[in-house]
Amino acid sequence: MSYSHILSSDTDLELEFLRGLKERKIDQKFMYFGGNASDFYTKWPHPKTELNPSAEEMAEVLSTYVARSGKLLIISVGCGNSQRELAVLQLLRAQDIDVEYLAIDSSKEMLALTEQTFKGTEYVVQTVLADFMGHRFIQEINHITKHHEKRAFMLLGGTLGNLSQTAAIDSLYNILSPGEHVLIEPPIRPSLKHEDDLKIFKRYASALEMIDLNHVVFSALEKIGIPYDSGEMTIQTEREVSSGVLRIGYSFKIIKPIRLSYRGEVLHLLPPEHIQLYNVRLFFPDTFIEFVENHEFTHVHSLLKMKRGLFTFKKNTT
C-alpha cells in the first residue's frame, strides 16, 4: 500500500528493536507487525462489545462537545484496523457533520488493515506510518494537518494502556493545539482495593494457558530466531500510583542460554533474565482524570462501561 506520510523506516525500527533487545525490554508495538496484525483480532480475547463504549456513544460525545460547526478531522492514534472509527464517521455523516479521517500507526500491517476497512466506502483515508511519541511525528503532525481547522484525536482500545503514561500524555500535550480535544478509551479497574487487583491478576494470569495468545505476545522474539521452548512466559503486576494504574506485564523468562546474531551484532541471553514484551494498564477513573489534568488538560466528559471508559479532555488554552 502507499502511505500519505511515512515518518519511520524499516531500518529505524530494526535498530530500535535491537536496542530494546539489549535492554531486555521490547516495545510492544513490535507485537503488531507481520501476521500478528490480523492475529490480534482473531486470537486475542477482546471484551464483549457491550462492555465497551459503543460507536454511537463516541459519535454522541464528538457531536456534543467537539464537532458543533465546521469540518472536523478525526485523527486516530494507534488506529489498528479502524473498524470502530469507520462506524463513528458514518454516524457523524448521518448527522450532516463534515468529517474526515487520518489513521496513524507504527505497523504497516495495521495500516493495511485500515485501508482494507475503508475499501469501497465513501471515505478517502489518509495514513501516517509513525510512532506518535516520536520526535519527528510531534514536529510534523501540524504540517500534515495544516489544511484542517478543527482536529480531534482518539486513542481507542488498548493504545494508551500499552504505553508509558507520562510519555504518552506529554506527547499528546505537545501534539494538540490549545482548545483541541482528545478521546481516550482505556481499560478501567473498579477500585484501588487489593482484592480487586488480585481478581484482575488472576484473570490475566489465566491467559498464560492460551498457547495462541502466548505466541502472539512472543512472536517478535520468535521471528529473530529465539525458540519458544528456550524460556517461559511470566506475568507480573505493578501499581503506578500517580496515574491510578494497575500494570499487568508479560515477560519471557530465559531458561536456556541463547547466542543470537541480529543486525550484525551478537547478543547473549542468559538465565534467569526476563525480556519484557507486553503491558496492559487498567486505570482507576478518578486518579486518571486528575493525572491528565495535571498535564494541563481539562476533563470534559466521562463514560464508564464495565471494561473500558471513554474520557474526553481538552488542552488548556492558557
At residue 3, the pLDDT reads 47
Q: For 256-302, write each residue's pLDDT tens digit.
A: 999 999 999 999 999 999 999 988 899 999 999 999 999 999 999 99
At residue 291, the pLDDT reads 96
Q: How far apart are CA 273 and CA 254, in angstroms?
A: 6
DSSP-derived secondary structure letter, 100: E
Q: How far apart are CA 17 and CA 11, in angstroms?
A: 10
Is the peptide bond prior to 257 cis by the omega test (within 30 degrees of 0)?
Answer: no
* CB of 245 closer than 8 Å to CB of 252: no
* CB of 130 closer than 8 Å to CB of 137: yes
- Spacing of C-alpha 89 from chain mean position: 20
* CB of 246 closer than 8 Å to CB of 215: no
At residue 294, the pLDDT reads 97
Strand partners, 253: 232, 274
pLDDT surpassing 90 at residue 199? yes
At residue 272, the pLDDT reads 96
> Helical H runs in the chain?
10-22, 36-42, 55-65, 83-94, 108-118, 135-144, 165-175, 194-205, 211-222, 285-293
Strand partners, 153: 75, 182
Question: What pLDDT band is residue 318 in, cutting at 50, 70 and 90?
Answer: confident
Strand partners, 5: 128
Q: How far apart are CA 126 and CA 99, in angstroms?
A: 13
At residue 6, the pLDDT reads 61
Q: How far apart are CA 172 and CA 295, in angstroms?
A: 10
What is the signed CA dihedral for 114, 119, 123, 127, rounded to 10 degrees? 30
266 sits in which H/E element: strand 265-269
What separation, in Å, do the N-terminal and C-terminal C-alpha atoms of the chain show? 41
Q: Put the strands of the sheet holding 245-254 in their side by side order.
A: 231-240, 245-254, 274-283
Q: For 181-193, write each residue's pLDDT tens digit.
A: 999 999 999 999 9
Q: For 202-233, write each residue's pLDDT tens digit.
A: 988 887 777 777 777 888 898 889 999 999 99
Of 157, 205, 219, 145, give the one whose Cα is nearest residue 183: 157
At residue 8, the pLDDT reads 65
| Average pLDDT for 10-25 | 89
The structure's pTM equals 0.90
Q: How far apart are CA 117 and CA 121, in angstroms?
A: 8
Of 179, 184, 157, 180, give the one whose Cα is nearest residue 169: 184
C-alpha cell at 133: 511519541
Q: How far is CA 137 from CA 65, 202, 283, in A?
A: 26, 38, 26
Say which residue the cell 519511520 belongs to.
8
| Average pLDDT for 61-70 | 84
Q: How far apart are CA 263 and CA 23, in angstroms?
A: 15
For the chain, the average pLDDT equals 89
pLDDT surpassing 70 at residue 2? no
Question: What pLDDT band is residue 1 in, cutting at 50, 70 and 90?
Answer: very low
| Three-point CA angle 274, 15, 108, nearest 5° | 100
Q: For 227-266, write each residue's pLDDT tens digit.
A: 999 999 999 999 999 999 999 999 999 999 999 999 999 9
Judged by DSSP in three states, 5 sits in strand
